Amino acid sequence: MSDAHAYPHEPTGVETRKLGFWIFLSTEILFFGTLITTFLIFKGRDFPGIKLTDVYDIPFTSVSSFVLLMSSLTMVLAHNALETNDQEKTRVWLLATAMLGAVFLAGQIYEFTEFYHKGFELSTNIFSSTFYVLTGFHGLHVFIGVVLLLALWGVGQRQRGLSLNEGMNLEFIALYWHFVDIVWIVLFTVVYLI
């Protein structure tokens, strides 16, 4: 995403790449919005068969949700460290964020396998289909985020520091990461708590 054109005049006052990224995130809202709407429509349907409420384990998911929320904190710390040009700390917090994201993903994989063994499979019924596609789509986003974080961490590790341009990338990844986090807060509420 390093396509900003050397054009000094930016009438909106927002850096071009950042503006493009915000528009991308606004589209993401529609992606998740459609999925959540579908989930809610089917959630109220009266259809026989196993339901999420028969298999889920709220305390477990609460813990993994907490882990993901904490990763937002470490992301902020990484960004903060970069602002004060503390390169070492930036890398530490980047890696911490990636690790917390990976822990969340591991939790999701464990949860999916558990559900599967309890007979709650992707094609069992409409409740399982919507659950897996919705949370799986979010998990894919977390996975991409972890890959991006690790890539940035790797670059920083190799060069012993991030340049100004790469710092901009950190900002994008942070925006993305917080977005994915906020989506999870909505998902956790909608899928598990309501």
Partner 1 sequence: MTKIIEPKKQRNIFSRPSSETGIWSWITTVDHKRIGIMYGYAAFFFLLVGGLEALLLRIQLSQPDNNFLSAAEYNAMFTMHGTTMIFLAIMPISAAFFNYLLPLQIGARDVAFPRLNALSFWIFIAGGLFLYSTFLFGTAGAPEGGYLDEEVSRLASAPNGGWFGYQPNAGLKYSPGTAMDYWAIGLQILGIASLVSAFNFITTILNMRTKGMRLMRMPVFTWMTFAVSFLLAFSLPIIAIALFFVTFDRQFGTTFFLTEGGGDPVLWQHLFWLFGHPEVYILILPAFGIVSEVLPTFSRKPLFGYPAIVFAGFGIAFIGFGVWAHHMFASAISPVAQAGFGLSTMIIAVPTGVKIFNWLGTIWGGKLTLNTPMLFALGFIGMFVIGGLSGVTHSVVPADTQQTDTYYIVAHFHYVLFGGALFGIFSGLYFWFPKVWGRMYNETMGKIHFWLMLIGFNVTFGPMHWLGLQGQVRRTWVYAEETNLGFWNLIVTIGAFILAVAILVFMANWIYSRRKGEKAPFDPWDARTIEWSIPSPTPVWNFSKAPEIKSLDDFWHQKYGEDEDGRAVRREGTDELLLKLEEEGLNPDEEIHLPSPSYFPLILAFGLPFLGYAIIYKSVPLALVGVILLLIGGFGWGTEPLEEEFETSEENPDAKESSTYE
38 near partner 1 (CB under 8 A): yes
6 near partner 1 (CB under 8 A): yes
Cα gap 79→96, rounded to integer Å: 13
The CA–CA distances, whole Å, from 9 to 12, 55, 167 equal: 9, 56, 22
53 near partner 1 (CB under 8 A): no
Question: Which CB sits closer to partner 1, 87 or 124?
Answer: 124
26 near partner 1 (CB under 8 A): yes
Cα gap 36→130, rounded to integer Å: 9
130: DSSP letter: H
3-state helix, strand, coil split of the chain in percent (to 5) is 80, 0, 20
Question: Which CB sits closer to partner 1, 59 or 158?
Answer: 158
The CA–CA distances, whole Å, from 110 to 64, 116, 184 equal: 11, 10, 17
46: DSSP letter: -
Please state the closest distance from residue 6 (CB atom) to partner 1, in A: 6
Q: Among 61, 90, 123, 175, which residue interacts with partner 1 (rule: CB under 8 A)?
A: 123
Distance linking the first and last C-alpha atoms of the chain: 38
Question: Which CB sits closer to partner 1, 62 or 113?
Answer: 113
Question: Which CB sits closer to partner 1, 93 or 127?
Answer: 127
99 near partner 1 (CB under 8 A): no
Which parts of this chain interact with partner 1 (CB under 8 A)? 1-12, 14, 16-17, 19-20, 23-24, 26-28, 30-31, 33-35, 38, 41-42, 45, 47, 49, 122-127, 129-130, 133, 151, 164-165
